[in-house]
Amino acid sequence: MKALKDQLKRVRQQARPSVLPVFVAANIVIEEDINFRQAMKDVQPLKQDPHVHHQPPRPKPRPLKNNNISQQQLSLQAEQALFAQMIGWFEPAEIDSQHRSPGTASNTLKKLRAGHWPVCAELDLHGLDRFAAHEQLTVFLHRARHLGQCVRIIHGKGLCSRGEPVLPKMVRAWLTHHPDVLAFCETRTDQGGSGAVLALLRRPHS
């Protein structure tokens, strides 16, 4: 029995793990860590920049040839010819005697004919071509809005025009599509009849 116990004791001693390499390895790691900290004690960490600096690509030494037609400059004569052709595309076939923009009260035209709003300014376009008439009408409407709401625009009946009258159609077409014109109608006979219109303008924002 004693011999069996001695044999088991020897087996336990052989199976017991050796702790010496573990302590040796641990001592080595600790020593290396201490040496690293001593070597790096004077090192200052770099400050990180939170911004991203974008560097655009450098331009080529020679500019590319511009083939964009919209950026090419035209001569004054060519621009006028192009503008005249463009206006012809939108020239109305008939003359509108009256107009009321969407959202305007239904009795606006009736009140406009009756003189409910006093005329605050008048523009005479006699003798002008369509280009000069369009320019003067645009400036006139912009300035007249600060004077009142109702204006009179005299475009004539075109009796002295060579061929078909142009201004009566164009002026009324421009007024129809102008954002500040609420309505327009022909004037009374004693005020010009079909040769002029009364236009009601939108009030400017205060």
**Token pair belonging to 33:** 């860590």
Residue 34 has pLDDT above 70, yes or no: no
Beta-sheet strand order (sheet of 98-100): 98-100, 181-186, 196-201, 150-154, 119-124
pTM of the model: 0.55
Contacts 24+ apart (CB under 8 A), 133-139: 133/167, 133/170, 133/171, 134/170, 134/174, 137/171, 137/174
Give pLDDT tens digits for 88-104.
455 566 677 899 999 99
Mean pLDDT of the chain: 78
**Token pair belonging to 107:** 């009795």
All domains of the chain in start order, with CATH: 96-201 (3.30.1370.110)
Three-state DSSP at 98 gives strand
Tell me which residue has tokens 């605050």. Answer: 120
Distance CA 184, CA 117 (A): 12
Q: Confirm if 167 and 204 have CB atoms less than 8 A apart.
A: no
- Residue 115, phi-psi category: left (phi > 0), alpha (psi -120 to 50), beta (remainder): left
Q: Between 53 and 178, where is the model more confident?
A: 178
